[in-house]
Amino acid sequence: MTRERAGAAEAMIQLDAGGAPQLTPVRILVVEDEPFIRHAIAEELRELGACVAEAASANEAWDFLAAGGVVDLVFTDHQMPGSMTGAQLAARVRALHPAVQIIVTSGNFNAREWAGPVLGKPYPPSETAARLVEMAVEARKNGMG
């Protein structure tokens, strides 16, 4: 599934059948139960050329990954409906796939499960999207090494 977009989020990471490097967009999973916040950050990321999957809960995000969804970065809210918090999702993904970048976002974060990056809420969508794409590109490069 390809689409012509701005190239900011593209990273040279795959070889085609003939061995030539291919530019493919970075893949970001946005996990957020508030649909307008989710849509806003996802659209900002798409504007920058990222391929974005939107999950409405940590459980849904885990479902997506269990079904074979491949991501470079997970950007997840912490407090959401369901049996799993964003911090728990982050810890599970980190344990299984250390190359994937994970950022938890919360207005009031106090969970012990996650000691990695946390972004306070509310966040500016445009600047945040640009930073997330940078991190996803970095994660992609590290994952290739």
Residue 55 binds another protein (CB under 8 A) = yes
- 8 Å CB contact between 23 and 68: no
Separation of alpha carbons 105 and 126, rounded Å: 15
Closer to another protein by Cβ: residue 38 or 78:
38
Residue 65 binds another protein (CB under 8 A) = yes
Closer to another protein by Cβ: residue 51 or 87:
51
Give the shortest CB-54-to-another protein separation in angstroms.
Answer: 5
Among 35, 107, 120, 122, binds another protein (CB under 8 A): 35
Backbone angles phi, psi at 117, to 5 degrees: -60, 135
Two tokens at 117? 């990056």
Report which DSSP code applies to 75. E
Separation of alpha carbons 132 and 101, rounded Å: 9
Among 18, 19, 66, 112, binds another protein (CB under 8 A): 66
Two tokens at 83? 């049996």
Binding positions for another protein, rule: CB under 8 A: 1-3, 35-36, 38-39, 43, 46, 51, 53-57, 60-61, 63-71, 93, 96-97, 100
